Every structure is written in structure tokens, then in C-alpha cells.
Structure 1
Amino acid sequence: MAQAAPKSHSQKDFPLDVSFLDTEASLALENYVKWTNDQGLGGIESCLSKLKAADPTFAMGHAIANGLVLIGTGSSVRLDKELDVAVKTMVEISKTQPLTHREQLHVSAVETFAKGNFPKACELWEQILRDHPTDMLALKFSHDAYFYLGYQEQMRDSVARVYPFWTPDIPLSSYVKGIYSFGLMETNLYDRAEKLAKEALSINPTDAWSVHTIAHIHEMKAEVQEGLEFMQHSEAHWKDSDMLACHNYWHWALYLIEKGEYEAALTIYDDHILPSLQASGAMLDVVDSCSMLYRLQMEGVSVGQRWQDVLSVTRKHSRDHVLLFNDAHFLMASLGAGDAQTTQELLTTLRDASESPGENCQHLLARDVGLPLCQALVEAQDGSPDRVVELLLPIRYRLVQIGGSNAQRDVFNQLLIHAALNCSSGLHKHVARSLLMQAPGPSHVLPSARDVLPSPAPTH
């Protein structure tokens, strides 16, 4: 293994278990944990560029650099030849060096993730965490991969197992509180999640991820006014966290949509969400933009030419098929912008991927879940609500498998409810009533079924 650079002040602040990383790799990891391209820390891209230039044979440098690109889900080895070469180079370099078992696992996990086998990659990261519970790289990569898989309990328990080892004297330990709180929230343990997130914020008020968890909690509990007040009061602390600020503004806008304050929501979109999308092109900003415009559209709000701005970013990703969750949002953009060619390209290539999935977990899921979901979006655009219900109702309990949070996937719950309300079939209207009565989380802020549907006829 190449000799690591002498420790800087920043690297000394890291847990002992990541001391095998050199300075630039440590700085990149710190940016990743904090969800910011902190220029005081060099910014992720700058750190990775310096890392590669300083020692092209540093295997762990390649693992973190490739892992960060892959975990962003904006590129894949299937279509990005440069990334494909980078991953193969990482593997070749690892074979020429006497790496520790832990380092070998890191390389293998990134290679496996690149193939689309997210569950196996998580198994490898978990092996690292069993022996090195304060390995932040393994913790964060596995956490994000579980999120993409919709493995909510695993996302929570992976952090729960290592949480006792992250004592307050270990730098970044407060951020582990925030990571753990998110898994608790996604498994409906709202009180415990809020307690941990507030503990994290009491230590570091600029922890945008913990802010984001509390925003989720208010959303899932339909505490709209409380959520608005929290976002307003905390904005100064998280608005400069450039990798997550857009998403926090998205949460803010959701509260406004739920209050029916559509113009205020569009103002947040125009002032914060779209500019972030255009500046970063990051997948989180992409799905936030698509999801927000789609929700507004379902409420009958005209979004003007805004879909065209989004499509200019999403069009180039229509053949990626890294995540089905992303695909569904790209499709919203091409449908909203009226781009039939891009819509067809996305559907055709996704169908092709589903027919030769290999070990790619997303392509394996595409036939039974991804393609019906995408077709439902097409049918909704074509004004066929009965067909939307026929497609979505059988898979509604499987949608968690496409990943994303409960709040993010709620756009598909809302699509099903809106379609059922507009069906010509009496049977589907009864479906609408049952969906509205049982809707979990944010969907229950939709109008009550008693307000929008006639009562069922009495039985005798």
C-alpha cells in the first residue's frame, strides 16, 4: 500500500479507524458526511483531484473517489466509459498491493456496487463495520445503499449496531446521531428519531441532515405549521449546506403545498430549487425538482415552462437506469415537457435492461415494479385514471423497493389516490375511499374521503 501522507489537523480529527486514509481522502469523506462542498475543507471534487494526482497508486484513494461518484447515482459503469475504466483500475491496483483485509473489502464493495448488486455491497460494508465500527466510509456508503434499496430496517439497524462505539470524543460522532435518527424516522419511531436529531443539532446547529430528519418527522405526522416554523427558524444554519439545502427547501415547499399555498411553494422552487438543480445537476436536486412540479400539477397548478428547464438536465440520463426511483422522476420531466422521444427512449431502454438484468438489483426489479410504475405515469399523462389504478394498485406495497424515503415515495401514493378519485369505474371509486381512509404519513393531509366521495350505500 502506498504510504499515506502525514496527518494534517483535519485528519487528526478523524476516528482512528479511518486513519488509513490520507489527508485529501479524509477531507473528501468529511465533506460527504456533512453534505457540503466546504471550500474550507477543499470541496469534494478538489480533494479527489488532489488525491489522484498525489498518489495514483493509492488503492483506498481510488475506492473513495469511485465510491463517491457511484453513490451519487448520476453515472454508471454501463454507460460512462471513464468511470468503468476507473473502477477496473482500482481493482487492478488493489491486486498489486499488500492490502489489509479491510481495504480489500472496501475495494470489493465499491466494485460490487458498480455492478448494481447493492445488497451484496452492503454485506461487504457490514463485514467492515463488524470489526471496525467507527469506519465512517463503510457506514455512510451502506446507509445510502440501504436507502436506495428501500431497506428501511437495515438502514436503521446498521447504524444502531455501531452507535455505542461512537463516543462523544470521536470527531463526527454527532453526525452519526443524525444518520441514526433518519433510520429511526423511516421506521416510524418518530419520538426517538426527533430526540437524537435534536441532540445532534444541540452539538452542531449546522448539521443539515439532522434538520432534514426533523423536517421529515413533521411531514409524516402532518404537523404542517410546526414544520414551517422549524424550517424558517433554522434556515440560517442550513442554507449554505449546498449538497442538502435544496432538499431542505423542498421539504419547506411540501408544507406550503399541503396548505394550498401554491404560489409560495413555486417561489421557493424558483428561488432555491431550480437554481440548485441548474448549478449542480445532482440527482437529489433532480428528483426534488421533478417531484415538486409533479405534485403541484396533480393539484391543478400550472407550472408553465418549468418542465423544460428540468428536462435540459434530465434528458441525458434517460438511458442511465441506475435507480428506478430516478427513472420515474426523469419520466415525469419528459412527460411534463411533452418530449415523446425521450419518454419512449427511457421506457424502451428500461425494458431492455429488465430483460438482461444480470446481478443488477434495479434491473431485476424493473419488470415487476419499475415498468408498471413508469407506465402508470404515462397513463396519467394520457388521461386514463382507470388504467393508472390497474397498474399501481397491485404494486403499491412493493414501491418501497425502489428506494427513497416515505415522504418522497408519497408522490406515487398521491398519484394513485388522484387517479382513483377520477375513475369512471365505481369499483375504483371505492378504492379511492379506502386509500384515503388508510393513507399513512403525508397522504393523510389530502381531503378526507368523506369530503370528496359519497357515503357507501347502507347494507341491509
Structure 2
Amino acid sequence: MNLDADPPLSTASDEAAALYREGVDLSLAAWPGAAERFDAAIAADPDFAMAQAARARLHAVYARPDEARRQMALAADLVARNGSEHEVSHIDVLTHLVNGRSAEALERALAHADRWPRDATILSLPLGAFGLFAFSGMVGHQQARVDLCARHAARFGAGDWWFLSSYGWALAENGDVARGRAMLERALELRPENASTIHALAHAMFEGGAGAESDALIEAWLPGYDRSGLLYAHIAWHAAITALERGDVETALAIYDDKVRPPVSQALPINVVSDGASLLWRLDAYGHGAPRDLWREVADYARAAFPRAGHAFLDAHMALIEATSGDRQALEARISTLEAMVDSGAMPAGPVVPAICRAALAFAGDDFAGCARLLEPVAAEVARIGGSGAQREIVEDTLLVALMRSGQAAKARALLDERLHRRPSPRDALWRAQLAA
């Protein structure tokens, strides 16, 4: 078998195959139109299992689990009748994914990628801030992403925009910012209509302390991206965060109001909740005071979207919402559920998750010393909740402010010194000035 060749598709319709490939490219670029391409491919060949599976996965991405499971079951039935070995394996991975069997999906995705490395749909699953590695509970998921990309880099070469984007982001998140950013800029040259790469480049600039460049990039690029795009609101969130880092509260709130808050965002529910909670929490923690009506709005959305505990990344952000909105009963119930999951081994991220939740409750109650006591022992484990460095930094910011407000200036300075070597930020300079006052 030639591992460098793209496997053939089991459809007699050239139109369906072409539409499917277009849909895959649009999906990988987080560009509008993928669902329509997959629907058209299915219309051209209703028995085309790969198109059915791709459409099912989009249902899952947009938090429509019932539709995802039904359509994936159809895809599995079709591929069992006339699919190739590659397609059977591809749909098996996606079936585990949409049915919530993440550990099995990761294991199968890695095995599939070793056999068919150029299957970008499957190779993409362990990658990214919300990928199977990130949400596996492992503390070293950034390195795992780099290692996976390095293992398969020779199969893609220097001209594949998707792989360059994925590898570049993995490198930037893992501390190799300059090399990662260079790959991302090359990926953007190869495919400018590519929200995935713009998003990853914003992260690389964040990690490199290049806030002004990130602002310029987003300001120039975002108007050409439809508001219905998967990453439109989240990319705007990046601009709001950099504005807040330099102390420009008015701009941050204006971006949030126009592009990020629940009534206007068309993002994934996980982004709507995490972006809203983290931006508003930063406003409060930095001493600016987030409007209470905005907190109520995101709290109402979050309760409806995610009524149950059990997702580490979401639980950390739900805790910020519940602590700030004064819903202590809900947060105590969440913590109890999470601690029981940790005890039973059902929470891969482990004790760091309920610790973050308890720390949020302490911080919101002005128990800053208590907040610091809870966060300091788990600070090195925060990566276990998944997400990106930019998203997880909210936990470190909370610890830093708690140290400052509880009179632990020496510890706060030590944390700022460590951050300076990892990710320079204008916000850190403002904190240093406060500590010196």
C-alpha cells in the first residue's frame, strides 16, 4: 500500500466524491458551506457512507448528539455493506467519537493515522485545543500533539495548508512559538480563506506576547469571514482579550457586545460559555467590574446548554459563572458530583477540576487566601482540563490576583517572573506596578 496516497472513495458518483472532498476542506478550514456540500454529496449518492459520516460529525460538533448518533449509525450500516478497509476504520473512529467514547476514539484514531496518515479528518481529532488529546485528562497533551504531527510530517510536506496549521499551532502551544508561527503564516499564504489558521495564528501571537500584531491581523481578516462561521465569535474573543490585557476595557466590552455574547454569537455552545465566562471573570478579577446583566445572560445560556457536570473544561468555566452569579447551591452540587467522579476514576482530569471550582467559589466570596491555597497545589496540573494556553490562563490569573489581594506579594512577584519567560504580557506590567505601589 502507498501510504502517501489519499485512499479512494466508495461511491460511483464523481459528483458526490467531489462535493465530499470540498466539504472536508471547508470543515478543516472552519469555513461556512461544509454542511451544504455533505448534504449535496448525500443527495447525489444516498449510499455514500463517508458523506453520511461527515455530516453526522458536523451534527456532533454543533452539539446535536441525537442527530449525530442517528446519522452515524446509518453511515456504519452503509460502510459495512460496501466500504473499503480504510472507510470502515474511519467510520469506526467517528462512531466512537459521537457516542462519547473518547478514550476508545483516541486509541483508534492514532492507530488509523499510523495506517492512513493522510486522512486529515481522523488525524485532526487528537489535535487542537478541543481535541481528543486536550480532553483526555493528560497533563502533557501539548507535547503529544507535537509528537503526533512530527511523526507524520513527511507524509504531508511543506505545501499542505491544513497540516502546517495543525503542526504550527501544536508547536506554539508547546512553547516553540517562533517555529510554530512561521508554519502558520505559511499555511495562511496557501489558503487565506481559512479560519482555522487565523485562529491558531492568534494563539501563537498570544503566546508570543504579540498582542498588537494579533489585533491588526484580526481587524484586517475578520470582516471577510461570515458571522455564521464556526470560529467568528471566538476569533473576536481573542481581540477582546488582547484589548483587556492592555487595559482597554471599552474596546473589550464593545467587541463582546457585538460579536461574542450569547444572543449574537453563532459559535459552538462550548465556546459561547467559555468565552463569555472567561472574559467577564477577567473584567472582575482585573478590577474593572463586569456588568451584572452580562453575567446573568451567560448564566441563563449556560444552564440551558450544559445542565450536567462531567466535562472538565466546561466545569471550570461553569464554576466561574455559578460563583459570580451567587448560585452556590448549583456550584456545591457540581463540586460534589466532580469529587465523586474523581473518586470513581470517571474524571480523567482528576482533582484539579473540583479544586478550580472550589477556588472560584472562594474568590467570588473574597476569600483570596483560601483561593490561593486551593490553586497553588494544582497549578502545574491545570493543563489537564484541556483547552488552549490562552483559555487556561484565566486560572493562573485568578491565582495571581488572589496572591496579591491576600498580601502574598513575594509569591505574586515570583509567579510574574516565571510568566515573563513564558509569555510576556502588558497586563503583567500593570500588576508589577500595583505590587510596587
TM range (shorter): 0.7 to 0.9
Corresponding residue number in structure 2 for 1:435:
415
* Matching residue of 2:144: 154
Are 1:194 and 1:214, in contact at CA under 8 Å, matched by a contact in 2?
A: yes
CA–CA distance in structure 1, aligned partners of residues 324 and 38 of structure 2: 37
For the pair 1:182 / 2:173, whether they are aligned, the reply is no
Are 1:262 and 2:249 matched, yes or no? yes
Matching residue of 1:35: 30
- Match among 398, 407, 411 for residue 415 of structure 1: 398
In 2, Cα distance between the equivalents of 1:449 and 1:240? Answer: 35
Superposition deviation, residue 181 in structure 1: 0.9
Write the distance in 2 (CA, Å) between the matches of 1:124 and 1:68.
19
Q: 1:88–1:6: structure 2 CA closer, same or farther, 3 Å change rule?
A: closer
Q: CA deviation at 1:414?
A: 0.2
| 1:296 and 2:296 aligned | no
Answering whether residue 184 of structure 2 is matched by residue 197 of structure 1, we say yes
Q: Is 1:166 paired with 2:166?
A: no
- Give the structure 1 partner of residue 14 of structure 2: 7
Distance in 2 (CA, whole Å) between partners of 1:447 and 1:63 is 49
Deviations 1:291-345 (A, max 9, x none): 1111111112222210122122210244444531112112222333333454344
Q: How many residues align?
A: 421
TM-score (norm 2): 0.84
Note closer, same or farther for the CA distance 1:83–1:214 as it changes in structure 2 (3 Å cut).
Answer: closer
Amino acid at match of 2:13: P
- Cα separation, partners in 2 of 1:194 and 1:96, compared to 1, 3 Å: closer
1:404 paired with 2:387, answer yes
Q: Is the 8 A contact 1:175 1:207 kept in 2?
A: no
Shift in Å at residue 380 of structure 1? 0.9
Alignment gaps of 5+ in structure 2: 1-8
Cα distance in 2 for residues equivalent to 1:380 and 1:245: 31
The Cα of 1:202 is off from its aligned counterpart by 1.6
Deviation at 1:211, TM superposition (A): 2.0
What's the offset of the Cα at 1:196?
1.1
1:328 and 2:316 correspond: yes
**Residue in 2 that maps onto 1:139:** 123
Q: In structure 1, what is the Cα distance between the partners aligned to 2:47 and 2:387?
A: 35
- In the alignment, is the contact (CA less than 8 A) between 2:117 and 2:152 conserved in 1? yes
How far apart, CA to CA, are the structure 1 residues paired with 2:436 and 2:255? 36
User: What fraction of aligned residue pairs are identical, expressed as a percent?
Assistant: 22
Using the alignment, how far apart are the partners of 1:68 and 1:397 within structure 2? 34
Residue 133 of structure 2 aligns to a residue in which SS?
helix
Q: Please list the CA deviations of residues 362-400 of structure 1 after superposition, one character each: whole Å capped at 9, or x if unmatched.
A: x2334x111111111111111111111111111111111
Match of 1:310 in 2: 298
The whole-number CA distance in structure 2 between the counterparts of 1:353 and 1:244 is 32
Report the AA paired with residue 152 of structure 1.
Q
Q: Take 2:90 and 2:405, find their aligned partners in 1: how far apart are those partners?
A: 50
Question: After the TM superposition, which residues 271-286 of structure 1 pair with which residues of structure 2 at under 5 Å, given as runs?
Answer: 271-274=258-261, 278-286=265-273
Query: RMSD of aligned C-alpha atoms?
Result: 3.3
In 2, the alpha carbon distance for the partners of 1:314 and 1:285 equals: 8
> TM-score, normalised on structure 1?
0.80
Give the 3 Å change call, closer, same or farther, for CA 347–62 of structure 1 in structure 2.
Answer: farther
Higher deviation after alignment, 173-182 or 405-414:
173-182
Contact 1:413/1:443 (8 A) holds in 2: no
Which letter maps to 2:400?
I
User: Partner letter of residue 335 of structure 1?
Assistant: A
- One of 118, 124, 133 as aligned partner of 2:108: 124
